[in-house]
Amino acid sequence: MPRPTSTARRELGEELRRLRGERKGAVVARALSWSESKLSRIETARTGIRDADLERLLAVVDAPPDDRRRLRELARRGRGRVWWTPYRSSLTEPYDEYVALEAEASALCEWEAQLVPGLLQTDEYARSVIEAGADRADSEVIETRVHLRMNRQTVLNREDPPQLCVVLDEAVLRREVGGRGVLRRQLQRLSEACERPGIQVQVLPFGAGVHGALTGSFLILEFGADRPAIVHSEGITGGVFRSRESELAIYRKVFDDLRNRSLSPADSRKLIARAGDDLD
């Protein structure tokens, strides 16, 4: 699968920020009757923009005619079809944004307190997780979401895959998602993933005690030096994205602490194997 790109969307966001100049985002958003977060998502390339919204925004920031023509073209290109377009009818808006960001990340640092991360799940494990979702989707939607999750995993097989660093709570190895057989096969897949280049899995043992991430799972998405990182934290009704540098610093500090408290990658794989053997 070719790596999707949002270069046009990012360029559009940068140009819109430049045109806004010294005007605060809250002031511009209020002039448009938008939330400040909507404007922020557009300027940070986390979402596209409709033609009508773009025209209103360009009027508010008084964009010169030459800029308007170029920005209209960038907006059109930024709305281009992506590989997960056929799945969008079964996705919530936050999850659609999550898939886009995951596909573009250069590194993924994930703390999981409950489940094996989606990028490392088997299809039967994923189906069990999705079936237990809060929205209780019908069978057709469930299958669509399972297929999407499996296709997301191809990001790890592309020519320039993101670095994936995962810290799992030991409870993940013991929670019988889908039953003992499903969990045993999932742990085998997880053990195999530990041997793949670019993937590092560590387990935080029960003996590590309390730590700074007891409030829940999160993912730090890195995009290289030219684009700020984003944190995604889980929630029952959808995830939350955080991009403030002060918040990013806290999440990075907590993740580093989790890694330091965890077993080494080699010892983590041994524990994963033992947990699987316990299910025989």
What pLDDT digit, counting tens, does each position of 29-50 carry?
999 998 888 898 888 877 778 8
Q: Does one domain contain both 34 and 124? A: no
Which domain CATH number covers 190? 3.30.870
Q: Is residue 245 part of a domain?
A: yes
Structure tokens at 253: 């500090």
Widest CA span in the chain: 69
The label of the residue with tokens 């999932």 reads 186
Question: Do the domain assignments include residue 1?
Answer: no
- For residues 190 and 166, give the distance between their C-alpha atoms in angstroms, rounded to a whole number: 11
Please check whether residues 95 and 74 belong to one and the same domain: no
Side-chain-facing half-sphere of 200: CA atoms under 13 Å: 15
Give me the domain span that covers residue 104: 89-277
Same domain (yes/no): 32, 93 = no
- Is residue 84 domain-resident? no
Whether 134 is covered by a domain: the verdict is: yes
- One-letter amino acid of 233: S
- Integer Cα distance of 193 and 19 in angstroms: 46
| Domain membership flag for residue 83 | no
pLDDT for the residue numbered 226: 72
CB 6 within 8 A of CB 45: yes
**Residue 255 burial by Cβ neighbours in a 10 Å radius (0-12, 13-18, 19+):** buried
Tens digit of pLDDT per residue, the chain (280 long)?
A: 333 445 677 788 889 999 999 999 999 999 999 888 889 888 887 777 888 999 999 999 999 998 999 999 888 877 766 666 677 666 665 677 788 788 888 999 999 999 999 999 999 999 999 998 767 678 888 899 999 999 999 999 988 899 999 999 999 999 999 999 999 999 999 999 999 999 999 999 999 999 999 999 999 999 888 778 899 998 776 778 888 899 999 999 999 999 999 999 999 999 999 999 999 8
Are residues 100 and 68 part of one domain? no
**What count of residues does the chain have?**
280
Residues 114 and 250 in one domain: yes
DSSP 8-state symbol, 28: H
Q: How many domains does the chain have?
A: 2
Residue 16 and residue 152 in one domain = no
Angle at 108 between CA 106 and CA 113, to 5 degrees: 175
CA count, 13 A, side-chain hemisphere, 32:
22
Domain boundary residue, one of 50, 78, 106: 78
Last residue of a domain, one of 78, 108, 138: 78
- E-strand ranges in the chain read 107-112, 163-169, 199-204, 218-222, 230-233, 240-242
Among 26, 55, 78, give the residue marking a domain's end: 78
Question: Would 28 be classed as within a structural domain?
Answer: yes
- Whether 108 maps to a domain, the answer reads yes
**Together in a domain, 148 and 273:** yes
User: 63: which residues sit within 8 A by CB, 6+ positions away?
Assistant: 19, 71
* 13 domain-assigned: yes
How far, rounded to the nearest angstrom, does the alpha carbon of residue 278 sit from its chain's CA centroid?
32
26 in Cβ contact with 18 (< 8 Å) = no
Query: Strands of 107-112's sheet, edge to edge?
Result: 199-204, 163-169, 107-112, 218-222, 230-233, 240-242
Q: What is the CATH number of the domain that holds 20?
A: 1.10.260.40
Contacts of 9 (CB under 8 A, 6+ apart): 45, 48, 74, 77, 78
In a shared domain, residues 106 and 60? no
Q: 240 and 131 in one domain?
A: yes
pLDDT of residue 76: 82
CA distance 245 to 241: 12
> Is 263 in contact with 202 (CB distance < 8 Å)?
yes
> 253 and 223 in one domain?
yes
Query: What was the pLDDT predicted at 85?
Result: 67
Residues 235 and 272 in one domain: yes
- Smallest CA-to-CA distance from 263 within 204, 207, 212 is with 204
Residue range 165-183, pLDDT digits in tens: 999 999 999 999 999 999 9
- 45 and 111 share one domain: no
